[in-house]
Amino acid sequence: MCHFKSEHYLNKNCLDSQWKWSKSTEINSKAILLDNNKQILFHPRTSSSTEVILADQPLPSNGKHYWEIYMPAVYGTSIIFGIATNEQQLISSSFTNLIGIDQHGWGLSHQGLLWHNGISHPYLSQPIEPLRPVLIGLEFDADARTLSYTIDNQSMGIAFRSIPTNVLIYPAVSSTSAQSTMILKHCCKICTSLSEICLKLIKSSELKNKINYQLLPRHLIEQLIKNGNIENQGQCKTSMHWDEISWDGGICASKLSVDGQCSNNTHCIVSYGYIL
């Protein structure tokens, strides 16, 4: 159970992200994923190694992205919260600061140090308190190419700058500690534009059943479909009657998803049926 309540919902407008932790493909991996891959149990029995777990998908190449990781207790030689490329080393047979050991990772250790390219720098004024719960927030600004941290809802400021643009970036965590647990509590894209704030309002439970989606601007409809917030079904009017179709990538389906005008696929000429 998390002893720290996130204040992110109170202070930021954001759209939920869908990524989870990814099961390691390493033969020697001992980590177990639980709770629909939102929770990691490192080294379930004993530990003699360091293991890294990445997200199951990279972060988008634009916008601001935020996620929070809760640990019931912090202990051991090295626990790191950060980001990495898909070239990140995932297993080490020794206890080490594996995220940041080379150019493929950027991380904050529980000792309060930042690691990248095998070099550490002080960041926190003191280590994260051992044997106590902690809530770590990470914010990756894909436009400014920076990574920032919060500790128990307190901003620690920018940790890394000039993160490369020519690589895919994944949320990443590592641990040397036996039976250590990390829980992904929240992940989202921070709304930085008026259209993103509108999307958040449209998706709210108070509004989603009251909107005529055909009256929304075209770019908002496209974004709702892209994010999977409108079901892949609707109706198209052919020359003489209504036929239900599935949005299977056909011309009628793709046109329906944009503005209701279909040029082919059984000569569909008009459509309706936007549904959340």
Average of pLDDT values for 223-247? 45
How confident is the model at residue 27, as a pLDDT? 87
Average pLDDT of the chain is 79
- Per CATH, the number for 8-190 is 2.60.120.920
Q: Where are the domains of the chain?
A: 8-190, 194-272
Name the percent of the chain lying above pLDDT 70.
65
Residue 231 has pLDDT above 50, yes or no: no
The DSSP element (H or E) to which 258 belongs, if any, is: helix 251-258
Average of pLDDT values for 22-41? 94
How confident is the model at residue 16, as a pLDDT? 85
Check residues 49 and 27 and name the one with the higher pLDDT.
Answer: 49
Check residues 11 and 115 and name the one with the higher pLDDT.
Answer: 115
Q: Which stretches of 98-133 are assigned E, i.e. beta strand?
A: 105-109, 113-116, 119-122
Query: Of 7-11, 17-21, 27-31, which range is least confident?
Result: 7-11
Average of pLDDT values for 4-33? 81
* Interatomic CA distance for residues 83 and 121, integer angstroms: 16
How confident is the model at residue 264, as a pLDDT? 43
**177 vs 80, 95, 182, 207, CA distance in Å?**
11, 9, 11, 46
Residue 203 has pLDDT above 80, yes or no: no
Residue 147 has pLDDT above 70, yes or no: yes
- Of 87, 78, 74, the closest CA to residue 108 belongs to 78
Name the percent of the chain lying above pLDDT 90.
60
**146 vs 123, 141, 170, CA distance in Å?**
15, 5, 14
Average of pLDDT values for 108-119? 98
